[in-house]
C-alpha cells in the first residue's frame, strides 16, 4: 500500500510539472503579448509607443531571457506564487483562490445532479424490459454529449428566466442563481457518466455471478441493484478525472453565459487578454484538480474492490 501511494504521488508531481512546463513553452512562444493588449486598452486601437511597452514588460518581468524566466517562474511556482495578473495586478494565486468558492458551488451542484441523472438513466436503461424505452434512454447520453453547453444554457436562460421569470439569469447570489447553470453544466457530465455506467452495468449483468444469483432465485431487482450495481460502480469512478476536467472546461462557457464569477470566467478573460501568468496558474490549477480527483479515486477503488490493491504491486514489478 505505501509503495502504491508513493508511486501515485510521484506521478501526480510529474503531471503538475509537465503542465507547468508545457503551458510555459506554449504561452511564451505565442505571438503577441499581454502587455501590449493591456496598454492598447482592449477597445480602441490606441497608439502605444515602444518605450511604454518596454517599460511595462520590465514591470511584469517579460523582458528576461526565456530560460531565466522559466527558472524564475518555476522556483516561485513551487512556493505557490504564480506572479501577478497583467490585467488587474492581483497575485494569481489569490485571484484563483478568490474565485474558487463560486466555481466549487457550481461544479459540485452540477456533479451531484450529473451523478443522479447519469446513474438514473443507466440504471433505468439496463433495468427496463421495454425495448423502445431502453433504446431511447441509451441514446440520451449521445444527445447530451453532443448538445453544445452554450446552446443549452442560452435556451434555459431564455425560457426559464426571460420568458417565465422563474429564476435569475445573471450573477451568483443565493441558491436560486445556481440552479440553471448547474443543470446546464450537468447535461454533458451526466451523459459521460450514463454512458460508462450503462456499459459497465450491462457487463456486470452478463457475468456468471449474476446469472447464478438469478438461477438461485434472487429477484431481478435484487441482482440488479444488489449485486451488479456495486461491481459496475468502479468504471464510472475511474473516469472521475475526465469528469472533473469536463466540469472545469464547461464552467468557462456556463459562467460566461450566466454572467457568474468563478474560475471559468477568469479563464475566459485571461485567455482573451493573453494574461500569461493567470493562464499558467489556471493550467496548473486544472492539472492539480485532475490529479487530486484521480488520486482520490486511486485511494477509493481498493476499498470498493480489494482485488485492485493486490494487483497494484504486480503491475509495479
Task: Confirm or reject binding of residue 188 to other proteins (CB under 8 A).
Answer: no
Question: Of 137-145, 215-223, 257-265, 287-295, which part binds other proteins (CB under 8 A)?
Answer: 257-265
φ/ψ of residue 63, rounded to 5:
-95, -5
Task: Confirm or reject binding of residue 258 to other proteins (CB under 8 A).
Answer: yes
Task: Confirm or reject binding of residue 29 to other proteins (CB under 8 A).
Answer: no
Task: Confirm or reject binding of residue 46 to other proteins (CB under 8 A).
Answer: yes
Binder of other proteins out of 71, 74, 90, 313 (CB under 8 A): 90
Q: What is the separation, in whole angstroms, between the first and last Cα of the chain?
A: 14
CA 208 to chain CA centroid, Å, is 36
Of 241, 239, 237, 236, nearest to 288 (Cα)? Answer: 241
Task: Confirm or reject binding of residue 27 to other proteins (CB under 8 A).
Answer: no
284 vs 13, 235, 261, CA distance in Å? 11, 26, 20
Binder of other proteins out of 6, 14, 41, 94 (CB under 8 A): 41
Nearer to other proteins, 98 or 305 (CB): 98
Question: Of 69-77, 109-117, 170-178, 205-213, which part binds other proteins (CB under 8 A)?
Answer: 170-178
Binder of other proteins out of 111, 185, 266, 291 (CB under 8 A): 266
Residues ≥6 apart with Cβ < 8 Å to 179: 167
DSSP 205-247: HHSHHHHHHHHTT--HHIIIIIIIHHHHTHHHHHTHHHHHHHH
Task: Confirm or reject binding of residue 156 to other proteins (CB under 8 A).
Answer: no
3-state secondary structure of 53: helix
Binder of other proteins out of 21, 108, 135, 158 (CB under 8 A): 158
- Grid cell in block for residue 224: 440488479
Task: Confirm or reject binding of residue 79 to other proteins (CB under 8 A).
Answer: no
Alpha carbon dihedral 183, 188, 193, 195, in 10-degree steps, equals 130
Binder of other proteins out of 100, 124, 147, 154 (CB under 8 A): 154
User: What distance in Å separates the CA atoms of residue 292 and residue 297, rounded to the nearest whole number?
Assistant: 9
Task: Confirm or reject binding of residue 271 to other proteins (CB under 8 A).
Answer: yes
The residues that bridge with 84 in the sheet, in sequence order, are 91
Kindly state the smallest distance separating residue 37's Cβ from other proteins, in Å: 3
The residues that bridge with 91 in the sheet, in sequence order, are 84
Task: Confirm or reject binding of residue 33 to other proteins (CB under 8 A).
Answer: yes
Task: Confirm or reject binding of residue 287 to other proteins (CB under 8 A).
Answer: no
3-state secondary structure of 84: strand
Nearer to other proteins, 206 or 271 (CB): 271
Task: Confirm or reject binding of residue 253 to other proteins (CB under 8 A).
Answer: yes
Question: Of 46-54, 180-188, 195-203, 221-229, which part binds other proteins (CB under 8 A)?
Answer: 46-54
Task: Confirm or reject binding of residue 254 to other proteins (CB under 8 A).
Answer: no
Q: CB–CB of 125/198 below 8 Å?
A: yes
Q: At what angle do helices 2-29 and 276-304 cross, to 10 degrees?
A: 160
Task: Give the interface with other proteins as residue ranges (CB under 8 A).
Answer: 31-53, 55-56, 84, 87-90, 150-151, 154-155, 157-158, 161-163, 165, 168-172, 253, 256-262, 265-266, 268-269, 271-274
Amino acid at each position: 500500500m505505501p509503495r502504491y501511494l508513493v508511486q501515485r504521488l510521484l506521478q501526480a508531481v510529474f503531471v503538475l510539472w509537465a503542465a507547468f512546463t508545457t503551458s510555459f513553452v506554449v504561452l511564451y512562444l505565442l505571438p503577441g503579448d499581454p502587455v501590449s493588449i493591456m496598454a492598447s486598452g482592449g477597445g480602441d486601437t490606441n497608439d502605444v509607443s515602444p518605450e511604454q511597452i518596454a517599460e511595462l514588460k520590465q514591470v511584469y518581468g517579460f523582458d528576461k531571457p526565456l530560460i531565466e524566466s522559466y527558472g524564475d517562474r518555476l522556483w516561485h511556482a513551487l512556493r505557490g506564487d504564480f506572479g501577478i495578473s497583467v490585467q488587474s495586478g492581483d497575485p494569481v494565486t489569490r485571484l484563483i483562490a478568490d474565485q474558487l468558492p463560486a466555481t466549487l458551488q457550481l461544479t459540485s451542484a452540477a456533479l451531484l445532479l450529473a451523478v443522479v441523472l447519469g446513474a438514473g438513466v443507466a440504471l433505468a436503461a439496463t433495468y427496463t424490459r421495454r425495448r423502445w424505452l431502453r433504446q431511447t434512454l441509451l441514446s440520451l447520453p449521445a444527445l447530451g454529449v453532443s448538445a453544445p453547453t452554450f446552446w443549452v444554457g442560452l435556451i434555459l436562460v431564455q425560457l426559464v428566466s426571460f420568458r417565465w421569470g422563474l429564476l435569475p439569469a445573471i450573477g451568483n447570489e443565493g441558491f436560486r442563481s445556481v440552479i440553471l447553470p448547474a443543470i446546464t453544466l450537468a447535461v454533458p457530465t451526466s451523459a459521460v457518466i450514463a454512458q460508462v455506467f450503462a456499459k459497465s452495468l450491462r457487463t456486470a449483468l452478463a457475468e456468471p455471478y449474476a446469472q447464478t444469483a438469478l438461477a438461485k432465485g434472487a429477484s431481478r431487482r435484487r441482482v440488479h441493484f444488489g449485486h451488479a450495481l456495486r461491481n459496475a460502480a468502479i468504471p464510472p469512478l475511474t473516469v472521475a478525472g475526465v469528469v472533473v476536467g469536463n466540469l472545469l472546461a464547461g464552467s468557462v462557457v456556463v459562467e460566461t453565459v450566466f454572467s457568474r464569477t468563478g474560475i471559468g470566467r477568469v479563464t475566459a478573460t485571461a485567455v482573451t487578454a493573453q494574461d500569461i501568468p493567470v493562464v499558467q496558474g489556471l493550467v496548473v490549477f486544472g492539472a492539480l484538480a485532475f490529479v487530486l480527483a484521480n488520486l482520490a479515486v486511486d485511494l477509493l477503488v481498493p476499498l470498493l474492490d480489494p482485488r485492485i490493491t493486490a494487483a497494484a504491486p504486480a503491475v509495479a514489478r
